[in-house]
Amino acid sequence: MRDRFTRYIEQEKRYSHHSVKAYTSDLDQFTQYLESHYDIVQPEDADHFMIRSWLVFLIDESVSTRTINRKTSCLNSFYRFLIREKKILENPMLKVTPPKTGSYLPSFVKEHEMEHLLEEIDFGTGFTASRDKLIIEILYDTGMRLSELINLKTDKINLNSFSLKVIGKRNKERLIPITKNLACLMTEHNTLRREILQKHNKTSPYYIITGKGEQLYPKLVYRIVNKYLAYVSSNSKKSPHTLRHSFATNLLNNGADLNAVKELLGHSSLAATQIYTHTTIEKLKEIYKRAHPRA
């Protein structure tokens, strides 16, 4: 059932590659736990007591609440799938309560730090330098996800209308506006990109490519982002998602409408976007303290 479940969430539910990989791993870990603790080979034979004991085991192992909740979601999806396939009669997860998640505050880079990075740090010259700066600029200027950047195609970019289209979660396409500055950088990069493809006698539908003309891959993006954010930020987290957080946070700090930011990020619900409002409130507190005569 594991393989059928994987195909189901990948092909029918259209979960992202990252989510499919995580859910498959979670289900495998649960299966291994059942084998070692209860001598049960198939997770469809587990009851809610066994599931609860696994969650307690994870807590004892100091697994984060967010990770445990993701594993709980995996099992919820799996047992709902089994009911759909008529393999079980009821979902044992209905009797399982996941641990409460504490408040989550996203890590972000401050506006002046990003300005310093993009305006004053020397990225160098040539294809690699141009590509690296473009990666930082696109992630920060658009708030797109890592997977959306990697899969961004040239035919989805319209520099004349200053916009591009990305395929987000659940295969949903959305239109994102870009600045004139970013459009200029992309225009300049196009020449260098063509030279790389000609050098290696290749073509590619993907806009951001490696020095060998191949599609970009996650580890390379992580290395690039971490390298350059380290010049301006002391944050422990320096990932592509940090730039997405920075995009949203700095927009809201400058008065952007929450619903507009939700659409730009491609969130399905406003609740996902509201995590960024904490920084807006903090900025209001700073203004209040500076300006109010009795503060």
In whole angstroms, give the CA distance from residue 11 to residue 19: 12
The 3-state DSSP class for residue 32 equals: helix
Amino acid at 239: S
Q: C-alpha distances in angstroms, 106 versus 27, 172, 236, 241, 280?
A: 28, 24, 12, 9, 13
Q: Is 283 a catalytic residue?
A: no
Both structure tokens of 195: 């030279």
> What are the φ/ψ torsions at residue 167 (nearest 5 degrees)?
-100, 110
> 48, 153, 169, 200: which one is catalytic?
169
Q: Is 278 a catalytic residue?
A: no
> What are the φ/ψ torsions at residue 164 (nearest 5 degrees)?
-150, 160
The candidate with the shortest Cα–Cα distance to 186, out of 211, 217, 154, 227, is 154
Q: Classify residue 244 as left (phi > 0), alpha (psi -120 to 50) or beta.
A: alpha
> 145, 189, 238, 245: which one is catalytic?
145
Q: Is 237 a catalytic residue?
A: no
In whole angstroms, give the CA distance from residue 274 to residue 266: 13
In whole angstroms, give the CA distance from residue 95 to residue 102: 22
Q: Is 245 a catalytic residue?
A: no
Both structure tokens of 289: 């303290």
In whole angstroms, give the CA distance from residue 114 to residue 140: 9
> 193, 238, 244, 262: which one is catalytic?
244
> 70, 153, 200, 241: which one is catalytic?
241
> What are the φ/ψ torsions at residue 110 (nearest 5 degrees)?
-65, 155
- Give the residue numbers marked as catalytic: 145, 169, 241, 244, 267, 276
